[in-house]
Amino acid sequence: MQKIVSGTSTERAVRTLSLMLLIDAFTVAYLWDGYVGYARQNGQELVRLLGLPADVAPSINSRLTAIEAQRFTQAAKTGDELSSITSVLGQPSLEQAGDAYFLGPGGWLKVQLKGGRIASAAWTSGPKTESDQLWQRWIGYALAVGGLIVALRLALVLATRLTVSDDGLLRGKQLIPFDAITAVRADPAGRSGCVEIEYSLDGRLQRIGLDRYVYKRLPEIVAAICEQKGFPNPWPPAKTTVGRA
């Protein structure tokens, strides 16, 4: 007989691929906001509050956290030179009206100056706090794990094979010789696009259900088995295929 090899259906492959791409897109979006997007939004808010042009893009010091800023506010003394801060944080992200602003991912440190020396220093959390950004990153990590699981699922879906040849029916690594097949019938549960194959191996009567949603060339394979065994062909139970993930 002519050997027939079937992979999975196009619908099943496309659905799994679409799910993977959707999860991957959300993963990128959450991680982007957690590491870049939210920090930039805070920078835009500072620019707005200072009345600067919207196209101004202040630099963001990734090392400047609320805890680090608190340390500076406690250590800064009235009359100290600004260099006591710039030596650690670098140059201010913005300067306006004699004040210096050091922008971190979660907010900014405002240093008021008088005569070029520190008068006061205070930290302000941005609209997108460090906690908000941390949550975005954790959600992104969780989605990345989910995306990896679906990617592995996609690999298994694409590796799906059902083969009929002179040796019998091969599903994965399980070979069912023709001599062992005792019946081919429509799905007892009435599911469209499905058939049930009954066979006897090692003295045990067993049954497997095959679904056209899983195996693209299932009608051809069922027809070949029925022709080989002289069984009536139950295919197709219906023209409509019910998709199952």
Q: What is the pLDDT of residues 211-235, one digit of tens each?
A: 999 999 999 999 999 999 999 998 7
Say if residue 131's pLDDT is above 70. yes
Q: Which domains does the chain have, with CATH numbers?
A: 161-229 (2.30.29)
Q: Residue 67 is encoded by which pair of tokens?
A: 């805890």
pLDDT tens per residue across span 42-51: 999 999 999 9
Residue range 86-104: average pLDDT?
A: 90
Mean pLDDT of the chain: 90
Residue range 95-118: average pLDDT?
A: 90
Q: Which SS3 state, helix, strand or coil, does residue 101 take?
A: strand
74: left (phi over 0), alpha (psi -120 to 50) or beta: alpha
The alpha carbon dihedral of 202, 204, 205, 208 has a sign of negative
Percentage with pLDDT > 70 across the chain: 96
Confidence (pTM) = 0.81
Residue range 1-16: average pLDDT?
A: 93
Highest mean pLDDT among 80-89, 114-123, 138-147, 221-230: 138-147
Residue 130: count of CB within 10 angstroms of its CB: 19
C-alpha to C-alpha distance for 169 and 244, rounded to whole angstroms: 23
- The answer to whether 193 and 215 have CB atoms below 8 angstroms apart is no
- The answer to whether 48 and 126 have CB atoms below 8 angstroms apart is no
Check residues 124 and 190 and name the one with the higher pLDDT.
124
- The answer to whether 194 and 211 have CB atoms below 8 angstroms apart is yes
The three-point CA angle 151-152-157 to 5° equals 95
pLDDT tens per residue across span 55-91: 999 999 999 999 999 888 888 778 888 888 888 889 9
